[in-house]
């Protein structure tokens, strides 16, 4: 890699911070119940304009089947036989949750301890800026055909882009797809993600009585819906904390990069004295085994509750599913388990919200080798291979629609970024180094023939 790329990216970082501040200020949560849809529209247009300035002359907003807009465009290389690389990111963000838990305003990019804090600073607006810096660093000398898609509903999981790709396969067809929505092992430790867990989201509802009744007059023989729900939820883990769903294996092992338990405790903010869950290694539990999380419970709050027996209660559950297990099978096992473990003959209803398949990337192609070289050049150390406990259903759609394409997952979202949580932030060195690596890869891959 010539030093010109590194020099140019470094010189652009102050301006990049200003651009990221503009983008973070747009409250692009793709849920009109929480934020105005105009915020997503402004973010989409911001992205479209920036890439149009870089030669994506046909950059446009495409309405997807879930009602969200994806920014789509293309840029041709001089050589008609050049390979095609698709750049992916998303401009929608998670809601900020409790704003009181933030050290700084969630939609104001703020410098804290050398990091840039704000909702979406890492996930995934930081990756949008990384793409822009990489392309600007090449100053128009890009020897590959480029395609672009920046979607607007990834965090909601409503599948707009997935269905768009299936219905319009020619639009985003490419030889290499850079899915920029994951991250490194740590700041300064480059990695590509090769494994994603699938997921199944369900809501389980328990009902026992026609209405609330006095706990003194009826407590004892009258069945408590909240207690029944607690018993059902408790059956989903064993004493070690491993997820235990009837018929679902939970003994997988991870053979890639390990994850030090002490580092994980720090990254996850685990309190002193609280044990990590499961009987496997941290990497086993994160990337090779199922994991059940209770996302929320509907029941009377402590403040305002009365001395009454609860007649109905509900919980929203998220099951993460490792590669090698079909999501449909895991979902069906979860639903059967919830019904089978409900006590006292209570009424149980299970509503399925969404299901997504796991993903495993191939790593033996020429693009992966070139990308690993570019990461080493940018960071000065070898790139490692990671799993990720999260899910990106679009990867499976890409793999099914474009079976010949190499899919490379990377991004700026290392553990300290606290994505999806209060106080999300990005280390600007990750934006800088990933931009250098991406620019070096595009130059190298385009001239390798």
Strand-pair partners of 149: 72, 88
Answer yes or no: do 73 and 160 share one domain.
Answer: yes
Structure tokens at 167: 């219905």
267 in any annotated domain: no
User: Which residue matches tokens 């994806």?
Assistant: 70
The percent of residues above 90 in pLDDT, for the chain, comes to 91
Domain count, the chain: 2
Domain hosting residue 177, numbered range: 3-196+358-446
Q: What is the pLDDT of residue 158?
A: 87
Q: Which of 325, 356, 387 is the last residue of a domain?
A: 356
- Which of 19, 39, 69, 154 is the catalytic position? 154
| Residue 441 domain flag | yes
**Same structural domain, 364 and 346:** no
Distance CA 347, CA 209 (A): 10
Per the domain annotation, does 335 fall within a domain?
A: yes
Q: Which of 308, 338, 356 is the last residue of a domain?
A: 356
The three-class DSSP label of residue 284 is helix
Q: 279 lies in a domain?
A: no
Give a yes or no: residue 282 inside a domain. no
pLDDT at position 43 is: 98
Residue 262 located in a structural domain: no
Verify that 94 and 202 share a domain, yes or no. Answer: no
CATH assignment of the domain containing 297: 3.30.70.360
- In total, the chain counts a number of residues equal to 449
Report pLDDT for 449. Answer: 63
Q: Are residues 43 and 158 in the same domain?
A: yes
Which one-letter DSSP state was computed for residue 270?
A: P
Look at residues 356, 372, 391 and tell me which one is the last residue of a structural domain.
356
188 and 222 part of one domain? no
pLDDT of residue 256: 79
Q: Where are the beta strands (DSSP E) in 281-392?
A: 291-298, 308-309, 312-321, 347-356, 359-360, 384-388
Nearest-angstrom CA–CA distance, 344 and 179: 48
Choosing from 19, 69, 92, 406, which is the catalytic residue?
92
> Is residue 261 a part of any domain in this protein?
no
**366 shares a domain with 341:** no
Tokens 């009365």 sit on residue: 306
How many CB atoms are closer than 10 A to CB 446?
21
Same domain, 336 and 374: no
Angle at the Cα of 176 from the Cα atoms of 170 and 178, rounded to 5 degrees: 105
Q: Check residue 1 and give its pLDDT.
A: 54
b/e sequence 409-422, b meaning 16+ C-beta within 10 Å:
bbbbbbbbbbbbeb
- 348 lies in the same domain as 376: no
- Do 153 and 176 have their domain in common? yes
- C-alpha separations of 208 from 224, 230, 342, 344, 346 in Å: 7, 14, 11, 9, 6
The pLDDT value recorded for residue 140 is: 87
**CATH number, domain containing residue 81:** 3.40.630.10
Q: What is the DSSP letter of 423?
A: T
Residues 125-152 as b or e (16 or more Cβ within 10 Å = b):
bbbbbbbbbbbbbbeeebbbbbbbbbbb
User: Residue 239, Cα to own-chain centre: how many angstroms?
Assistant: 29
pLDDT of 388:
83
| pLDDT value at residue 448 | 79
- pTM here is 0.84
Q: Are residues 144 and 10 in the same domain?
A: yes
Judge whether 427 counts as a catalytic residue. Answer: no
Confirm whether 112 is domain-assigned.
Answer: yes
With beta carbons less than 8 A apart as the criterion, state whether 75 and 131 touch. Answer: no
Q: Are 183 and 434 in contact (CB under 8 A)?
A: no
Instruction: Give the contacts of 153 (CB within 8 A, at least 6 positions apart).
Output: 30, 64, 66, 67, 68, 90, 92, 159, 160, 161
- Residue spans of the chain under pLDDT 50: none
92 noted as active-site residue: yes
Exposed/middle/buried for 401, CB within 10 Å: 0-12, 13-18, 19+? middle
Cα–Cα distances in angstroms (integers) from residue 299 to residues 231, 303, 309, 313, 428, in the given order: 15, 12, 11, 5, 42
If asked whether residues 315 and 427 sit together in one domain, one would say no
pLDDT of residue 55: 96
Do 393 and 345 have their domain in common? no
Q: Are 318 and 354 in contact (CB under 8 A)?
A: no
């Amino acid at each position: 890699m010539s030093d010109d790329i590194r020099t140019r990216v470094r010189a652009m970082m102050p301006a990049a911070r200003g651009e990221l501040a503009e983008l973070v200020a747009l409250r692009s949560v793709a849920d009109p119940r929480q934020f105005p849809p105009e915020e997503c529209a402004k973010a989409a247009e911001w992205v479209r304009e920036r890439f149009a300035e870089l030669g994506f002359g046909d950059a446009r907003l495409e309405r997807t089947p879930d009602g969200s807009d994806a920014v789509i465009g293309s840029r041709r290389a001089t050589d008609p036989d050049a390979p095609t690389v698709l750049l992916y990111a998303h401009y929608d963000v998670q809601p900020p949750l409790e704003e009181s838990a933030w050290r700084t305003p969630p939609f104001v990019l703020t410098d804290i301890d050398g990091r840039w804090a704000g909702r979406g600073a890492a996930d995934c607006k930081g990756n949008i800026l990384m793409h822009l810096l990489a392309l600007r660093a090449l100053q128009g000398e890009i020897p590959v055909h480029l395609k672009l898609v920046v979607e607007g509903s990834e965090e909601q999981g409503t599948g707009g882009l997935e269905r768009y790709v299936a219905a319009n396969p020619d639009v985003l067809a490419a030889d290499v797809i850079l899915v920029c929505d994951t991250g490194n092992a740590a700041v300064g430790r480059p990695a590509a993600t090769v494994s994603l867990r699938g997921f199944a989201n369900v809501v389980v509802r328990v009902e026992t009585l026609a209405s609330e009744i006095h706990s003194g007059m009826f407590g004892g023989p009258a069945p408590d819906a909240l207690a029944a729900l607690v018993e059902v939820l408790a059956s989903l883990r064993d004493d070690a904390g491993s997820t235990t769903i009837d018929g679902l294996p939970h003994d997988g092992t991870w053979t890639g990069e390990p994850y030090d338990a002490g580092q994980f405790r720090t990254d996850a903010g685990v309190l002193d004295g609280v044990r990590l869950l499961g009987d496997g290694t941290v990497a086993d539990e994160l990337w090779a085994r199922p994991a059940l999380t209770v996302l929320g419970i509907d029941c009377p709050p402590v403040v305002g509750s009365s001395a009454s027996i609860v007649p109905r209660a509900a919980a929203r559950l998220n099951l993460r599913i490792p590669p090698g297990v079909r999501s449909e099978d895991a979902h069906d096992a979860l639903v059967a388990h919830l019904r089978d473990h409900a006590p006292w003959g209570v009424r149980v209803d299970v509503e399925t919200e969404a299901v997504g398949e796991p993903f495993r990337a191939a790593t033996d192609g020429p693009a992966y080798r070139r990308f690993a070289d570019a990461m080493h050049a940018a960071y000065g150390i070898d790139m490692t291979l990671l799993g990720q406990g999260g899910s990106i259903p679009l990867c499976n759609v890409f793999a099914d629609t474009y079976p010949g394409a190499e899919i490379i997952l990377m991004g700026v979202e290392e553990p300290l970024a606290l994505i999806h949580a209060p106080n999300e932030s990005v280390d600007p060195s990750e934006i800088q180094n990933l931009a250098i690596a991406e620019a070096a890869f595009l130059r190298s891959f385009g001239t390798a023939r």
